Structure 1
Amino acid sequence: MALALYRKYRPSSFGEVVGQDHVTEPLRTALASGRINHAYLFSGPRGCGKTSSARIMARSLNCVAGPTPEPCGECGPCVALAPGGPGSVDVTELDAASHNGVDDARELRDRAFYAPAESRYRVFVIDEAHMVTPQGFNALLKIVEEPPEHLIFIFATTEPDKVLATIRSRTHHYPFRLIPPSAMRELLERNVAAEGIAVEPAVYPLVIRAGGGSARDTQSVLDQLIAGAGPDGVTYERAVALLGVTDVALIDAMVDALAAQDAGTVYGTVERLAEAGHDPRRFASDLLDRLRDLVLLRSVPTAAETGLVSAPEEQIERMVSQSQRIEPGTLTRYAEILHNGLLDMRGATSPRLVLELLCARMLLPEVSGDEAAMLQRLESLERRFGAGEVAPPQAAPPQAPAAQAPAAQA
C-alpha cells in the first residue's frame, strides 16, 4: 500500500516546513542559542504543520549534536524520530481528544518524572490540546509550571483560546498560519516531480483552492487526482469532474453574458449547468471567486504577476478582457448579490431557483432602490454614451436676435 503524499513527504527539518517562516526561524534561533523553554504551544488551522514541527522540535532537541536547528539525520534519535521512523520511547504523542480527563493527566504526570531512557529530553507532544478538560489541565498545572530539567511539553491545538489560561501563560506560543498559494504550488510541484506524474498546470489552482491553505488537505486532494489519473496524467477535465468544480467555460459564459446584459444567455447557462449535473451552490461560489479576481485585475493591473490572481496564462488574458467590460461598481454589486445568495441557498429546497433569482437581480438593477443598484445604472448609461449607443440630448439651437425697432425719426 502506497503512503499518502502528506505522509510520504512530511518535513524532517524546519527548513522543509513550508509557509511558516515566522515560526520556524525563531525556533531555529532559540535552538542554536540553547534558549530552550520547558513548554511550547503550537496553534493554527488544521494541516498547517503543527504536529510535524513538534516532531522536528523533539528531533532537534535529542540529536547527538543538539540541541541544534539542523539535526544530523544519522544518530539514533534522528533516525528514530525521522518521518517513517520507529519512534522513540522518550518522545510520547498523546491525542487529547481521547486522553483528556483527570486520570489521563495524572498518568502522564507520573510518567513525566522518570528520566529519559536514551535521549537528552523526555518530550510530550499533546495534540488537540483544547480537548483537555479544565480538571485535566489543573492536574497538569504543577508539572507544567515547574517541570524536571529533562522534561519538555509541546501542546498543539487549533483553538488556543480553549487552552487553560494558566497553562497558556507558561508556554512559548507560536501561531501557525494557512499556507499561501505560491508556497503551496511550489510544494505540490516538488511532490509531483518526485512522483514522476504529469499534471496539467491548470490543475494546480483547482487543487490549491480545494485544499483551503492546509498542506495536508491540499496534498490529499492531489493524491486523489493522481490515484485516478489516466495515461496522460492528471488532466484539467478529470480534475474538474472529480473535484466537482464548475467548468471554466460555464463561468466564462455567465460573465460574458452579464457583461453584455444578455438575459437569454444568462438563463441558458443556468440550464446548461443543470443539464451537466453541477451543483448551483458550487457554481455560485465559483462565480463569486471569478468576480473577486475580476475586481482585483481591474483595480491592480499587476495582480496576475504578483500572485494576487492565480490562473493559467490564457485564462488571465480572458479575465483581463472581462474585467474591462464590467464597471467596478457593477462588479462589486454582483459579488454582494452572490455572497448574500449563498447564505440563502444553504437551506433552499430549490437552489437552481434561487440562482435564477440572483441572476434576475443582477440583470435588473432598476427593481432595487439601493445605492449599489443606482451606481450600476449610472455606469451602464456612461458606458452606452461612451460607445455611442445612446445619443446625448441635443442642445436647443440658438435663437436669432430679435429685430430692432426702427429708430424714431426726428
Structure 2
Amino acid sequence: MAQALYRRYRPDTFAHLVGQDHVTDTLRAALDGGRASHAYLFSGPRGCGKTTSARIMARCLNCAEGPTSTPCGTCESCIELASGGSGSLDVIEMDAASNRGIDDARDLRERAEFAPVRDRYKVIILDEAHMVTKEGANALLKLIEEPPAHVKFIFATTEPEKMLPTIRSRTHHYQFRLVPPQVLRPYLETICQQEGVQVEPGVLDLVIRAGGGSVRDSLSVLDQLLAGAENGSLPYARCAALLGYTDANLLDEVIDALGAGDGAAVFTGIERVTSSGVDPKRFAEDLLQRLRDLVICALAADQASAILPHIADDQLARMKQQAEQWGSRLLSRRADIVEEALANMVGATPPRLMLELLMGRLLVAGVAESTPTVQPTPPVAAAPQSRPTPVPAPVVSQPTETSTPPAATPQPRATQAAPEPTPREPQPATHATNANFTAQWDRIVDEAKKLSAIAGAIIRDAKATVSGTTVYVSLAGPLASRLPANREKIEQAITTVMGPGWTLSEGAPPADPKVPAPEAAPHPIEKSQPAPPHSSEPAPPPPEPAPVLEDPAPYDEAPPMPEPEEDLPSEDDRDIEAPPPPGVPQVLSILGGTIVEERIKEA
C-alpha cells in the first residue's frame, strides 16, 4: 500500500520546510548561537508545519553534533527522529486532545523528572495544547516555569488564545502562516516530477485553491488526483469535476454572456452548470474569484501577469478583454452583488433559485450601468425686475397779459403718448425666492449635518431670510456664539443645494428704502382775467398727475398689528359693589351667620 504524500515528503530539516522562513531562520539562529529556550509555542492554521517543526527542533537538539541547525542525519537520534523512523525514548510526543486531564499532567510531570536515557535532552512535544483542561495546565505550570535542565517543552496549537496566559508568557511564541500560492506551486511541481506524472495547466491551481494554503491539505488533494492518473497524465477536466469546481470554459461563457447582456445565454449556462452537478454555491464562489481576477486585470493593466502568475497567457489575454468590456466600476459593483448573494445562500431556499436570481441581478446591474444618467437642470437665476421711477407731470407755461395764446389744436386723448418710465438700476440676481428657499431648507440642514453635527444643529431651528444672494439667519441661545466657527460649512451646505454664489450673515436683512414719492406737478396759476373774446374753442384740460408707485414691502416685513381696543364700560355691565368694612361685617359678608353675643377683651 502506497504511503500518503504528506508523510512521504515530510521535511527532516528546517531548510526543507516550505513557506515558514520567518520562523525557521529565527530558530536556526538561536540553535547556532546556543540560545535555545526551555519552552516553545508554535501556533498557526492546520497543516502549515507546526508539529513537523517541533520534531525537527527535537532532532536538532539531540543530534550527536548538536545542538545545531543542520542535523547530521547519520547519528542514532537523527535516524530515529527522521520521517518514517521508530522514534526516540527521549522525545515524548503526546496528543493533548486525548490526554488532557490532571492525571495525564501528573504522569507527564513524573516522567520529566527522570534524566534522558541516551540523548542530550528530554523533549516533550504537546500537540493540540489548547485542549488541556484548566486543572491539567495548572499542574504543569510549575514544571514549565522552572523545568529541569534536561527538559525542553514544545507546544503546538491552532488556538493559542485558549491556553492559559501564564503558560503562554513562559514560552517563545512563533506564529506559522498559510503558504502563498507562488511559494506552494513550485513545491507541488517538484513533487509531480518526482512522482512521474504530467499535469495539464490549471490543475495545480485547483489543488492550491482546494488546499487553502495548507501544505498538508494540498498534498492530500494532490494525492487523491494522482491516484486517478492514467498513462502518467492528469487532465484538467477530470480534476475540475472531481474537486467540484466549475470548468473554466463554462465560466468564460457565462462571463461573456453577462458582459453582452444576453440573458438567454446566461440562463442557458446556468442550466449547464446545474446539469453537470456543480454546486450552485461553488459556482458563485468561482464567479466571485473570476471577478476578483478581472478587477485586477482592469486596474493593474500590464502588471496583471505579475500579480496573477498562476494564470496561463492565453487565459490572461482573454480575461483582459473581458475586463475592458466590463470596466472596473461595473466589475466592482457585480462583485459586491455576488458576495451578498453568497452570504444569503443558506437555509431552506433552493440554491439553484438563489443562483438564477443572482444572474438576474447581475444583468439588471449591467443595464443600469449602461443607461446614461440624466443630470438635473440647475435652477435658473431669476431675471432682474426693474421698477419704473415716477416722472413728474409736465408744467404748462402760464400765458402773459401781453401775449396772445396760440390756437391749440385739440387731439384725442388716446393718441397722446404717455411718458416712458425711467427704469431703476437692476438689483443683483437672486438664486431663489423665499418660498423656494424654504422648500429646500430641510435639504440644506441635512447637508450641514453631513459636514458637521454642530453646523446642522445651529441652522436647524434658525429663522432664515433671503435677500439677494445673502441668507440672513436669526439665532437665539448658546448656539448663536458658535455661528462664526461654522460659517464656512453652512455656506458650503447652502451652495451644494442651491448653487454657487451664496453668502451667510447673522441678523435681519437691511430694510429696503422706500422710493420717495414725487412732488405734485404745479398747476398753472389761475388769473381773474377772462378768456380772450376771440377764442371760441375751449382750452385743453390740465394733465392728470402721474400715479405714485410705492415699493412692495420687503420679504420679511410683517403686516402692521392692530391697536388694542380701549376697554370702556357699557350700560349692561354689572355694578361693582364696595366691599364691607374690615372686621366683623366683612366676616359676616363672606361666611354668613348671626351675631349672638359680643365680648370685648379686656386689656
- What's the TM-score once normalised by structure 2's chain length? 0.61
- Residue of structure 2 in register with 1:361 after alignment: 361
Residue 299 of structure 1 deviates from its aligned partner by 1.2
Task: Give the fraction of aligned pairs with identical amino acids, expressed as a percent.
Answer: 57
Q: Is 1:377 aligned to 2:378, yes or no?
A: no
- Residue of structure 1 in register with 2:35 after alignment: 35
Amino acid at match of 1:285: E
Instruction: State the SS of the aligned residue for 1:83.
Output: coil
Residue 344 of structure 1 deviates from its aligned partner by 1.2
CA deviation map 1:269-314 (0-9, x unaligned): 1111122121111100101100011111111125543244632222
Distance 2:264 2:232 in 1: 38
Amino acid at match of 1:226: L
Residue 72 of structure 1 deviates from its aligned partner by 0.5
- Residue of structure 1 in register with 2:228 after alignment: 228
Maintained 8 Å contact 1:90/1:121:
yes
The unaligned stretches of length 5 or more in structure 2 are: 374-603
Instruction: State the SS of the aligned residue for 1:98.
Output: coil
CA deviation map 1:41-82 (0-9, x unaligned): 000000000000000000000001111010011011111101
- Residue of structure 2 in register with 1:106 after alignment: 106
Amino acid at match of 1:13: T
- Residue of structure 1 in register with 2:20 after alignment: 20
Change (3 A) 1:309 1:256: farther
Distance 1:334 1:359 in 2: 10
Distance 1:167 1:251 in 2: 51
Residue 221 of structure 1 deviates from its aligned partner by 0.2
Distance 1:47 1:248 in 2: 28
The unaligned stretches of length 5 or more in structure 1 are: 366-372, 386-410
Change (3 A) 1:207 1:304: farther
Change (3 A) 1:82 1:232: closer
- Residue of structure 2 in register with 1:3 after alignment: 3
Maintained 8 Å contact 1:303/1:309:
no
Distance 2:126 2:112 in 1: 13
Residue 168 of structure 1 deviates from its aligned partner by 0.2
Distance 1:272 1:180 in 2: 33
Maintained 8 Å contact 2:96/2:128:
yes
Amino acid at match of 2:106: R
- Residue of structure 1 in register with 2:164 after alignment: 164
Distance 1:306 1:35 in 2: 40
Change (3 A) 1:178 1:123: same
CA deviation map 1:333-392 (0-9, x unaligned): 111111111121122441111011111111113xxxxxxx8xx835x247xx9xxxxxxx
Residue 212 of structure 1 deviates from its aligned partner by 0.2
Instruction: State the SS of the aligned residue for 1:305.
Output: helix
- Residue of structure 1 in register with 2:249 after alignment: 249
338-347 or 105-114: which moved more?
338-347
Amino acid at match of 1:35: R
- Residue of structure 1 in register with 2:214 after alignment: 214
Instruction: State the SS of the aligned residue for 1:333.
Output: helix
Amino acid at match of 2:17: V
Amino acid at match of 1:147: P
Q: Radius of gyration: which is bigger?
A: 2
- Residue of structure 2 in register with 1:145 after alignment: 145
Distance 1:332 1:355 in 2: 19
- Residue of structure 2 in register with 1:133 after alignment: 133
- Residue of structure 2 in register with 1:326 after alignment: 326
Q: RMSD in angstroms over aligned alpha carbons? A: 1.5
Maintained 8 Å contact 1:246/1:286:
yes
Residue 242 of structure 1 deviates from its aligned partner by 0.9
Residue 232 of structure 1 deviates from its aligned partner by 4.7
Query: Larger RCO: Structure 1 or Structure 2 (Cα < 8 Å, ≥ 6 residues apart)?
Result: 1
Instruction: State the SS of the aligned residue for 1:116.
Output: coil
CA deviation map 1:78-116 (0-9, x unaligned): 111011111100001111100111111111011011111
Maintained 8 Å contact 1:182/1:307:
no
Residue 315 of structure 1 deviates from its aligned partner by 1.3
Amino acid at match of 2:368: R
Residue 230 of structure 1 deviates from its aligned partner by 1.3
- Residue of structure 1 in register with 2:202 after alignment: 202
Maintained 8 Å contact 1:60/1:68:
yes
- Residue of structure 1 in register with 2:547 after alignment: none
- Residue of structure 2 in register with 1:388 after alignment: none
Distance 1:311 1:208 in 2: 13
- Residue of structure 1 in register with 2:121 after alignment: 121
- Residue of structure 2 in register with 1:276 after alignment: 276
Maintained 8 Å contact 1:296/1:303:
no
Amino acid at match of 1:93: E
CA deviation map 1:130-165 (0-9, x unaligned): 111111110000000000000000000000101110
